Amino acid sequence: DINPDYDLAKPLNFDGVGLRQKLASYGDPHFSLFMRKLFIKALGYSEDALSRPIVGIVNTYSSFNPCHANIPQLIDAVKRGVQLSGGLAIDFPTISLHESFASPTSMYLRNLMSMDTEEMIQAQPVDSVVLIGGRSSSSSSLLLPWHGNIWLFDTTTGCDKTTPAQLMGGISANKPIIHLVTGPMMPGSFQGVRIGACTDCRNNWARFRAGSLDIEDISALNEELAPTAGTCGVMGTASTMSCILLALGLMPLSLPSATAPAVSSSRLRIAEATGTHAVSLAKSQLRPQTLLSKESFLNAITVLQAIGGSTNAIVHLMAIVNRHPQLAGSITLHTIDDIGRKTPLLVDLKPSGDNYMTDFHNAGGMIALLHELKPLLHLDVMTITGRTLGVELASIPFRPLPPDSPLKSIIHRYHEPLYPSSSLVILSKGNLASAGGAVIKASASKDRNLLFHTGPAVVFSGPKDLAERIDSPNLNATPSSVLVLQNIGPVGNPGMPEAGLIPIPRKLAAKGVTDMLRISDGRMSGTAGGTIILHVSPESADPESVLGIIKDGDMITFDAEERYLHVEIGEEEIKARIEQRKKAMGERGESAWIAREKERGYKGLYRREVNQAEKGADFGFLTAAGPS
């Protein structure tokens, strides 16, 4: 006879699917349950505690990650919410990625983090999981699976690649998930002017390069640019992804989940409430593949355009949607462009505008924005509470700011936009864009004349070549030159580094040039601005790429309105150059395209499996379609 405590036939509070799957691994499932209980009891839990719905909390804290520095407090608050609601909360770690400390780039490790997240969720039959960045307690990493009845993930996400990685893994694992972001940092101050990471990091570094700031100034700025814990305080990738999570319905709309500062008490109350929602979600078993619809993604893209969001979010959204078995392929770069044409830019934050995330929060945040965007939104989509977006919005009345409020200009009215439409533009015509497309954040252009421009190319073959020559007094560049950087695409320079923000050549910067047309197959930080075309696909490492055969002096034409990017080389000449280049690659045997077949480790896996930017730079075998 089986002791009822170890009897699999004993009714469970929740669905218990994970329990039965995992127990098979010991052969005797009753003995397996006995073993799990034995080990979890070593941590001091009582039978009463273990009989509760179990909410796992995925912890991405790292002492190398200041964007996640508040996670220990957030975990405490989430646990409080879970336990006040009758659940048992247990945290466990996954990897942590900070933009500046993940070499060669955090994007290189995003897919690894998504695999870690998916597999740890799958492996541990906890009843529910909160995906949260935070301190990794040594005990939690020893946890063995034992009986579990709820699957639920509460995701706390922060620094740029964390949210997309966790959502990609969460959709693939398809257990109920709820997101909680760490929140933006506060702005700092320099000589009476507010500053914040990282638009002002770049602006001020450019001023330092141009000689208008000295070493003392730049050192003083270094102390103030990231003055608190939290994610970059402008509309960079982390903030963009937070707003997108809310638009997708993956965070509760009744809380200022996307915008409350990392160091605010509001952020802790959001964490506590997220724990409460996590227990409800455990009961509803609303999973991301059910919750998310094509219309959820259309709403997310509308928000992306209206906030002037990060270009990186486009790559992430493609990777995220392509993890969904029913929606993969239904959202493309064209969808982003089509929505852009009818969506005004409403939020006045850096880098497209002038302000900081705290201003957006204080001006009403995402709820105010969603009310403003209502005419463009699909209101019947599901959200994490089990209620539709329309029902949620109706229950949170829009309270406009007083007419004389200094915050009035932060969220523009629908009919008085900051920029009429197409903050993010997808290029799809001309020989540099018709194959796999390219992306530009037109609203962050500093010199709008450059959105319609023809000029001669100045080509750099890679980051090393760029570093060696960009500041040379002999560089053959004028303000109308088009700077082209090759070999920073997904395969050519694994992780597609954010080197697309090619610096203005020093000799031109010193003369006051602050913007030039720049083109690459890489990415740029969401906090950066300028007339910068990114994600050109196929990338230049691809032997068939047109970007890869551009030479100094070739004339390049860009027309943002026509979505046109073209290098004036005839068809025959293109073919000849491609053949010539392939031959040279074969002879030298140095092409990344060829070398990846023999590379070991994660780098080899990455280079062999990563797909192009328009598909999300995910690994083909992780997509819903599987290996291609």
Only one of the segments 228-236, 498-506, 585-593, 605-613 lies at the binding site for ligand FES (rule: CB under 6 A); that segment is 228-236
Considering only residues 237 to 266 of the shown chain, the ones binding Mg ion according to CB under 5 A are 237
Choice from 164, 196, 236, 436 touching ligand FES (CB under 6 A): 236
Residue type present at position 581: R
Dig out the tokens for 540 from the structure.
Answer: 């230049």
- Using alpha carbons, list the distances in angstroms from residue 129 to 13, 19, 382, 544: 16, 14, 21, 45
Say whether residue 525 binds Mg ion (CB under 5 A).
Answer: yes
CA distance 357 to 185: 8
CA distance 20 to 4: 16
Residue with tokens 């098979």: 24
DSSP lists the bridge partners of residue 565 as 558
CA distance 467 to 486: 13
Q: What is the DSSP letter of 408?
A: G
Say whether residue 159 binds ligand FES (CB under 6 A).
Answer: yes
Radius of gyration, CA atoms only, the chain? 25
Say whether residue 89 binds ligand FES (CB under 6 A).
Answer: no
The dihedrals phi and psi of 563, each to the nearest 5 degrees, come to 60, 40
Strands 177-181 and 188-190: unpaired
* Residue 159: contacted member of Mg ion, ligand FES, none (CB under 5 to 8 Å, by partner type): ligand FES
Per-residue x/- mask for ligand FES, residues 190 to 209, rule CB under 6 A?
-------xx-----------
Per-residue x/- mask for ligand FES, residues 598 to 627, rule CB under 6 A?
------------------------------
Residues near ligand FES (CB under 6 A), total: 11
Per-residue x/- mask for ligand FES, residues 26 to 65, rule CB under 6 A?
----------------------------------------
Say whether residue 97 binds ligand FES (CB under 6 A).
Answer: no
Nearer to ligand FES, 161 or 412 (CB): 161
Contact (Cβ atoms closer than 8 angstroms) between residue 578 and residue 571: no
Dig out the tokens for 45 from the structure.
Answer: 């839990």
Residue type present at position 221: L
Say whether residue 493 binds ligand FES (CB under 6 A).
Answer: no
Nearer to ligand FES, 226 or 367 (CB): 226
Choice from 88, 238, 524, 533 touching ligand FES (CB under 6 A): 238
* Residue 231: contacted member of Mg ion, ligand FES, none (CB under 5 to 8 Å, by partner type): ligand FES
Nearer to ligand FES, 154 or 498 (CB): 498
* Residue 412: contacted member of ligand FES, Mg ion, none (CB under 5 to 8 Å, by partner type): none
CA distance 56 to 51: 14
Say whether residue 231 binds Mg ion (CB under 5 A).
Answer: no
Choice from 76, 91, 118, 160 touching ligand FES (CB under 6 A): 160
Nearer to ligand FES, 98 or 287 (CB): 98
Nearer to ligand FES, 198 or 519 (CB): 198
Least distance in angstroms from the C-beta of 159 to Mg ion: 8
DSSP lists the bridge partners of residue 180 as 156
Residues in the chain: 628
Least distance in angstroms from the C-beta of 526 to Mg ion: 5
Nearer to ligand FES, 172 or 312 (CB): 312
CA distance 405 to 414: 18
The dihedrals phi and psi of 153, each to the nearest 5 degrees, come to -120, 125
Dig out the tokens for 465 from the structure.
Answer: 């070549």
- Using alpha carbons, list the distances in angstroms from residue 180 to 358, 441, 567: 17, 27, 45
Using CB under 5 A as the criterion, which residues of the chain lie in contact with Mg ion when the complex forms?
99, 160, 236-237, 525
Q: Residues interacting with ligand FES, by CB under 6 A? A: 67, 98-99, 159-160, 197-198, 231-232, 236, 238
